[in-house]
Amino acid sequence: MDIDDMNHMPEWEQFSRLGEDGTFSQPETEKSRLKALSAKTLYNQARAVYKYAALFCETLKGEMADLTSNLIMQNALIICPKIVGAEGADIYVLRMENASIIRTNCRELEIQVRAADMLRICAPEYKDIMLNEIEKFRLIFIEWVKLFEKDQYKDEWGLY
């Protein structure tokens, strides 16, 4: 499978607030432009993680390959929609909730890749590629979360 053929996740522009002429559809501040760019960068890296996860799963061999592949893809699949969900409302509690889910899925994805290596059902070089892509995502994620701003909405569960 060619990575360029892995277009299951839509492009970021499908979700952004950019108009057809390439300008923002509503007045934007420099800060909101930075937030939008950060979200786009994170989303694009999440798409890369998804693509590499799908390719990684194709290389798995052995008794645990199907189960491991299913777990990896479940975690990889949820990341992009959660970024879109976090950006959609621009409400701190929803952003934090989605960010927590993203972090959990990425950590589980990393554990599953390491488990595949431990079980010797993957090639080590593919494991390294996956872990590098997850690490790139983690670093972008940290910068994205720094742009979250607390607002007047309260978390009914008291977590955020």
For the segment 19-28, the average pLDDT, to the nearest whole number, is 51
Total structural domains within the chain: 1
CATH number of the domain where residue 117 is located: 1.20.1440.60
Q: Answer yes or no: is 50 within a domain.
A: yes
**Rounded-to-integer distance, Cα 13 and Cα 73, Å:** 23
What domain range is 69 assigned to?
31-146
Q: Answer yes or no: is 152 within a domain.
A: no
Q: Answer yes or no: is 7 within a domain.
A: no
**Rounded-to-integer distance, Cα 18 and Cα 20, Å:** 7
- Phi first, then psi: give them for residue 73, nearest 5 degrees: -70, -35
Give pLDDT, residue 25: 52
User: Angle at CA 124, nearest 5°, toward 119 and 127?
Assistant: 85
For the segment 1-6, the average pLDDT, to the nearest whole number, is 52
DSSP H/E element including 133:
helix 124-146
Query: Which string of DSSP letters, residue by residue, matches 3-45?
Result: GGG---SPPGGGTS-B-TTSSBSS---HHHHHHHHHHHHHHHH
pLDDT tens, 83-136?
Answer: 999 998 789 999 999 999 999 999 999 999 999 999 999 999 999 999 999 999
Give pLDDT, residue 19: 46
* Tokens standing for residue 113: 């890749």
Q: Answer yes or no: is 117 within a domain.
A: yes
Q: Answer yes or no: is 151 within a domain.
A: no
Assign 11 a pLDDT band (cuts: 50, 70, 90).
Answer: confident
Could you tell me the maximum CA-CA distance found in the chain, to the nearest angstrom?
55
Decide: 69 and 41 in contact? Cβ < 8 Å: no
Decide: 55 and 3 in contact? Cβ < 8 Å: yes
Give pLDDT, residue 16: 61
Give pLDDT, residue 89: 79
**Rounded-to-integer distance, Cα 101 and Cα 38, Å:** 18
**Rounded-to-integer distance, Cα 45 and Cα 37, Å:** 12
pLDDT tens, 43-86?
Answer: 999 999 999 999 999 999 999 999 999 999 999 999 999 999 99
The better pLDDT of the pair 10, 139 is held by 139
Place of tokens 């494991």: 127
Q: Answer yes or no: is 15 within a domain.
A: no
